[in-house]
Structure formats: structure tokens, C-alpha cells
Amino acid sequence: MEKHPALALGQLRGLEGRDESKKLWFQLTRIVNNITGPIRPMKSWIKYWADKKSTVRSKVQSVGGDPNSLCSNVEKKIWDLFLANDVSKSRNVKQESHFIDETVLNEDSIDEANMEPEPVLDFEVEPVADPEERQIAIMDKLVKAMSSQASALAQLGHASLVSSQAMERLADASHLQARALDRLASTFESIGAATHQVGTALLDIDATVKRCYATSPT
């Protein structure tokens, strides 16, 4: 509303003004419905805003125009930003609501290709949450999100530890396997050496036998 005072004061008139007003109210409805608090259709937020301005104006006028009588920070901000210098203070609630009905609430002319249909909800008008309360609610959500993130990180750390331990066991098994292969290779070398010695011994025996037969008388 601070960025679009003409929308807040209902000064967007004419064909282009009505179209711009519809678009801005649609965007504003989506924003406030995503904040902690009541969820309402666009029509209800428009009416709530008109009623809220009229209530603030009536409170100030009832005490002779003294805005210090306002107790809520939200009402004080509405007065300071939109009503203190509003030249149309004499409008009553009925006139303002009628203007809104004619210019904005005619949803038949809203471009359905760009805007989603608003749900029809049955609820009682509730006061807008104080900005401090909304901030506390947002901080509470942030704390919960950070707590969930910390829990997820703890689980990830535990999984990493388990994976590291498994890798250590795999490394130990690989080391044992390498030692077993070394022993097997040594065994084959010993067998090869023994086989060579046996072969040499057989050759010596064969040579000895041949010499014996060669020296024997015929």
C-alpha cells in the first residue's frame, strides 16, 4: 500500500485505472494470504481495507480530529500514510464501498488467463495481525526450519561416519587380501624352486646310471 498510495485511497479510476487496480489487488491478495494470518478472497480484502480506513477516520473525527487517540500502531500508520492529508475525508463507508463495487469487485472483467479464480470463503472479519506479531510468527517458522536443517545435517554427519567406518573396514579387508596374495606368491615360488631342485636331482641320477652302464663289462 505504501508503494501504491493511489490504490490505498481508491484514486485509480477510469478504464486503465480500474484494470490497474484489479491487478494490484490480485497481487496484494496473494501476498497477504501467504503471510501468517487469515486467508481471504480478493473481495474480502478490498472490503476490509475500506472498512479499516473508515474506522480509523471515524475514530479520529469522533475526538475532534486528534490522531493521538488511535491505540493501534497499524491504525496510526494508516492515518499518517493515507488519511492525514486525504482531501476526501468526508466520504462515508457506504460511498467508498460503492465505488469499490463499481470499479474493482466486478470480477467478470478480470482476465482469467492471468489470474486464478478467488475462492468463496465464509468467515468473520478478523483484525489484521500486528506487524510485530507477524514478525514473531515468521521468526518462529525460521527457527523451526533451522532446527529441521540442523537435524538433517546431523543425520548426514552420522551417515558420513558410518560410510567412513565401512571404508575403513573395506581397506582392512583389502590389506588382508593383499597379504594373503603375497603369501600365495611366496608359496608358488617355493614350489617352483623345489621342482627345479627335483629336476636337477633326477638329471644327476640319470647321468650316474648311464656312467654305471658304460663302465660295466659286456
What's residue 178's pLDDT?
A: 92
Cα–Cα distance, 162 to 25 (Å, whole number): 54
Residue 30 inside a domain? The answer is yes
Per-residue model confidence as pLDDT tens digits over 52-110 = 888 888 888 888 888 888 888 888 888 888 888 764 444 443 344 434 444 455 444 44
Cell numbers 506479531 correspond to 133
Task: For residue 202, give the C-alpha cell.
Answer: 633326477
Cβ of 133: how many Cβ atoms within 10 Å? 12
Is 148 a member of any domain? no
Structural domain boundaries enclosing 61: 5-129
Q: What values do phi and psi take at 82, rounded to 5?
A: -125, -30
> Do residues 63 and 69 touch, judged by C-beta distance below 8 A?
yes
CA distances in angstroms from 127 to 38, 58, 72, listed in the order given:
9, 17, 11
Let me know if residue 15 belongs to a domain: yes
Choose between 160 and 138: higher pLDDT: 160
Cell readout for 189 is: 615360488
- Residue 174 belongs to a domain: no
**What angle separates helix 14-33 from helix 42-62, to the nearest 10 degrees?**
100
Rg (CA), the chain: 45
**113 falls in which pLDDT band (50, 70, 90)?**
very low
Q: Is the pTM of this model over 0.85?
A: no
In a domain, 67, yes or no: yes
Number of domains in the chain: 1
Q: Picking from 123-127, 137-141, 209-213, which range would have the lowest pLDDT averaged per residue?
A: 123-127
Q: Is residue 39 part of a domain?
A: yes
- Structural domain contains residue 98: yes
DSSP state, 79?
Answer: I
Instruction: State the SS3 of 19-70.
Output: HHHHHHHHHHHHHHHCCCCCCCCHHHHHHHHHHHHHHHHHHHHHCCCCHHHC
- Nine cell digits for residue 11: 484514486
Q: Is residue 16 part of a domain?
A: yes
